[in-house]
A and B are shown apart, each in its own frame.
Chain A
Amino acid sequence: NAGVTQTPKFRVLKTGQSMTLLCAQDMNHEYMYWYRQDPGMGLRLIHYSVGEGTTAKGEVPDGYNVSRLKKQNFLLGLESAAPSQTSVYFCATRLAGGPEETQYFGPGTRLLVL
């Protein structure tokens, strides 16, 4: 029972390159989220999904795309990376239901864009 895993753990990109971050969960959670964490700022929501095949924009979606083809996986794509996307990216999952449900976070992906 791995919980929430993220791949890769660390990546260096050059400006303009593309990449995909993978979030996988084995808890059968309906909701999945992608956040970014930057120094001096709280976690900010990029995109989220409330179920397989559905995605929605969060607070800072520009420059990112997502897909949720399978319930257990949530992919975050950067089509043309920019230095401003240097950050630590966290995936989170939770059960459907009320706001009292706990979010479970992955270990993070550290991305450096040169």
Chain B
Amino acid sequence: KNQVEQSPQSLIILEGKNCTLQCNYTVSPFSNLRWYKQDTGRGPVSLTIMTFSENTKSNGRYTATLDADTKQSSLHITASQLSDSASYICVVSLNSGTYKYIFGTGTRLKVLA
């Protein structure tokens, strides 16, 4: 069964601190993995995308890594800001069809001043 699991479910950190979110997947055939940021009351917005051959991708203070052998990905946030408070969703695309996306349940991050 294709699955994407994220941990932790929720996380609280102080402004300026770093944090790492985890994503484990069992999806086949794998095409790519994205991380989305979803602000409260808004739709998800793509942060990064990695294909099978890429093991790291950065977008400002966001750095995603991918280990295709262990089927794990992480999203590292550096020097967190209050605006980073959001849910972060890991999504894996299958290499078949036109609609196959497997969504994780997300990690809810709260950054405190």
Chain A interface secondary structure, helix, strand, loop or mixed?
loop
Contacts of B83 in A (CB 8 A): none
The answer to whether A41 and B105 have CB atoms under 8 Å apart is yes
Query: Bound state CA distance, A33 and B93, in angstroms?
Result: 15
The answer to whether B89 and A42 have CB atoms under 8 Å apart is yes
The answer to whether B99 and A33 have CB atoms under 8 Å apart is yes
The answer to whether B105 and A40 have CB atoms under 8 Å apart is yes
The answer to whether B43 and A105 have CB atoms under 8 Å apart is yes
Q: Is B42 an interface residue (CB 8 A)?
A: yes
Contacts of B106 in A (CB 8 A): 42
The answer to whether B99 and A108 have CB atoms under 8 Å apart is no
- State which of B13-21, B45-53, B56-64 sits at the interface with chain A: B45-53
Residue on A with the closest CB to B44? A105
Contacts of A44 in B (CB 8 A): 103
Q: Is A48 an interface residue (CB 8 A)?
A: yes
The answer to whether B49 and A100 have CB atoms under 8 Å apart is yes
The answer to whether A108 and B41 have CB atoms under 8 Å apart is yes
The answer to whether B49 and A45 have CB atoms under 8 Å apart is no
A39-68, CB < 8 A from B: 40-45, 48, 50, 56, 58
Query: Bound state CA distance, A102 and B101, in angstroms?
Result: 11
Partner of B43, one of A31, A45, A100, A108: A108
Interface readout for B24-55 with A: 1 if CB under 8 Å, 0 if not?
00000001101000000111111001010000
Contacts of A42 in B (CB 8 A): 4, 89, 102-106
Partner of A100, one of B42, B51, B98, B99: B51
Q: Which residues of B contact A (CB under 8 A)?
A: 4, 31-32, 34, 41-46, 49, 51, 89, 93-95, 98-106
Q: Which residues of A contact B (CB under 8 A)?
A: 4, 31, 33, 40-45, 48, 50, 56, 58, 90, 92, 96, 98-100, 102-103, 105-108
Given A42-B102, A58-B99, 17 more pairs with CB closer than 8 A: A4-B43, A31-B98, A42-B106, A43-B89, A43-B103, A44-B103, A48-B99, A50-B98, A56-B99, A90-B43, A90-B44, A92-B43, A99-B32, A99-B94, A99-B95, A102-B46, A107-B42
